[in-house]
C-alpha cells in the first residue's frame, strides 16, 4: 500500500509568518507606526495562559505591538466589556482577541458582540460571520482560514471537489464550510447526529475534522487519494504510565495509507492558527491606516 504525504503545518506557518513580517515592515514604513494586537485573558486557565503567551511572542516576532490584558477569574461581564470598549477606541490597537473560554459568569456572545467588527481579528463577531456567509469582505476565523490556505497550497483550484466538514462550531465547522462553499466545493457538514458517517466521509475529496473526539475517523472510511485536515487536539493517556499525548480526530496511522495528504497532530493545523491571527491583524492595520492590503501570498 502506498503512503500519503504528511503536511508540515509548522513549516507552512513559518512561511506565512515570514510573509507577515515583511508586510509589517512595509506597513511600518508607510504608516509610521506598528500594527497592534491586544490579547485579553480572563482568569488563570493554564492552557489559555500558554496560548496567550505564545500569541504575544509571535506578535512581537512579526514586528507588531502586543498589548496583554489580564483580568481576574472573578471579573464581571461589565468589567470585561468596559475593557473591550476602551480597546475599541484605542488608536494603537488594530486587533482585539478575547481568549475563550471565559469564566461562567460571563456571556461569551455579549463580549464578542462588544468587539468593534473592524478589530475582530478572530472573526467571531456576528457581523463578520454574516459577511463570510454573504461573500463580503470581513475577518474570517483563524483556524478555518489556515486550513483553507493549506488546502489551496496542496490542491490549487478546489472547484467542484466534494468536501466534508465534521463539526458545526461557530469557530471552525461553520466558517470552514462557508469558505469551502466560496471555493465552489460541494460541501457537507456532518455532526454528532449524522447518520452513517463512514458513508458520508467516503464520498469526500476533502475531509476537515473538527469534532474533538480522539481518533474517531477511521482510515478505511476515507476515499483513496482524499486530502485530510485534522483540526482536533485531544489529550489522551500515553503508553507510558501517568503521561499524556496529543492526538487528532482522525486515526492518523490508519488514515495515512489511504490519503493523498494529511495534517499531523501536533504540527499540522495548530501552528497555522497563530500565523493567520497575525495576518488578520496586519489586514486590520491596513484598513485602519487607509492603505490597500497587497502582501504577496496572503
| Residue of 99, 174, 215, 230 with catalytic role | 99
H or E element that contains 90: none
- Interaction between residue 98 and ligand GUN (CB under 6 A): yes
CA-to-CA distance for 11 and 19, rounded, in angstroms?
13
| Residue of 94, 119, 120, 122 with catalytic role | 122
Compute φ and ψ for 172, nearest 5 degrees: -125, -65
Residue in 52, 80, 142, 226 binding ligand GUN, rule: CB under 6 A: 142
Side-chain-facing half-sphere of 161: CA atoms under 13 Å? 22
Active site residue 77: no
Active site residue 99: yes
Indicate the burial class of 90 (C-beta count within 10 angstroms; 0-12, 13-18, 19 or more): middle
CA-to-CA distance for 89 and 96, rounded, in angstroms?
11
CB of 197 to ligand GUN, least distance (A): 25
Which residue number places its CB atom closest to ligand GUN? 100
Site for ligand GUN in 144-183 (CB under 6 A): none
CA-to-CA distance for 152 and 39, rounded, in angstroms?
29
- Interaction between residue 228 and ligand GUN (CB under 6 A): no
Active site residue 55: yes
For residue 159 the three cell numbers come to: 472547484
Measured from the CB atom, the residue of 122 and 183 that comes closer to ligand GUN is: 122
How many CB atoms are located within 10 Å of the residue 24 CB? 21
- Interaction between residue 97 and ligand GUN (CB under 6 A): yes
- Interaction between residue 40 and ligand GUN (CB under 6 A): no
CA-to-CA distance for 20 and 121, rounded, in angstroms?
14
Site for ligand GUN in 231-290 (CB under 6 A): 273
- Interaction between residue 295 and ligand GUN (CB under 6 A): no
- Interaction between residue 96 and ligand GUN (CB under 6 A): no
Catalytic (active-site) positions: 55, 99, 122
Binding region for ligand GUN (CB under 6 A): 97-100, 122, 142-143, 273
Amino acid at each position: 500500500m502506498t503512503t500519503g504525504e504528511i503536511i508540515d503545518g509548522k513549516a507552512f506557518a513559518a512561511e506565512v509568518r515570514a510573509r507577515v513580517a515583511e508586510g509589517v515592515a512595509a506597513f511600518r514604513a508607510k504608516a509610521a507606526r506598528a500594527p497592534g494586537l491586544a490579547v485579553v485573558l480572563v482568569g488563570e486557565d493554564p492552557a489559555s495562559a500558554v496560548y496567550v503567551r505564545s500569541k504575544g511572542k509571535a506578535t512581537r516576532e512579526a514586528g507588531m505591538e502586543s498589548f496583554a490584558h489580564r483580568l481576574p477569574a472573578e471579573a464581571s461581564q461589565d468589567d470585561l466589556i468596559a475593557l473591550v470598549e476602551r480597546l475599541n477606541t484605542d488608536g494603537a490597537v488594530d486587533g482585539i482577541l478575547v481568549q475563550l473560554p471565559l469564566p461562567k459568569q460571563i456571556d461569551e456572545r455579549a463580549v464578542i458582540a462588544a468587539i468593534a467588527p473592524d478589530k475582530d481579528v478572530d472573526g467571531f463577531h456576528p457581523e463578520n460571520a454574516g459577511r463570510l456567509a454573504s461573500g463580503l469582505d470581513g475577518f474570517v476565523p483563524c483556524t478555518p482560514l489556515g486550513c483553507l490556505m493549506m488546502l489551496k497550497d496542496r490542491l490549487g483550484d478546489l472547484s467542484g471537489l466534494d468536501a466534508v466538514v465534521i463539526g458545526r462550531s461557530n469557530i471552525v465547522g461553520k466558517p470552514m464550510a462557508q469558505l469551502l462553499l466560496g471555493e465552489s466545493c460541494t460541501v457537507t457538514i456532518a455532526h454528532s447526529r449524522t447518520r452513517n458517517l463512514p458513508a458520508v466521509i467516503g464520498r469526500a475529496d476533502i475531509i476537515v475534522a473538527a469534532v474533538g473526539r480522539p481518533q474517531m475517523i477511521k482510515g478505511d472510511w476515507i476515499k483513496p487519494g482524499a486530502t485530510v485536515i485534522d483540526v482536533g487536539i485531544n489529550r489522551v493517556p500515553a503508553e507510558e504510565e501517568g503521561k499524556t499525548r496529543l492526538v487528532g480526530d482522525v486515526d492518523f496511522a490508519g488514515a495515512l495509507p489511504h490519503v493523498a495528504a494529511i495534517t499531523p497532530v501536533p504540527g499540522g493545523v495548530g501552528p497555522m492558527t497563530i500565523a493567520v491571527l497575525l495576518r488578520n491583524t496586519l489586514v486590520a492595520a491596513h484598513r485602519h491606516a487607509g492603505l490597500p492590503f497587497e502582501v504577496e501570498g496572503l
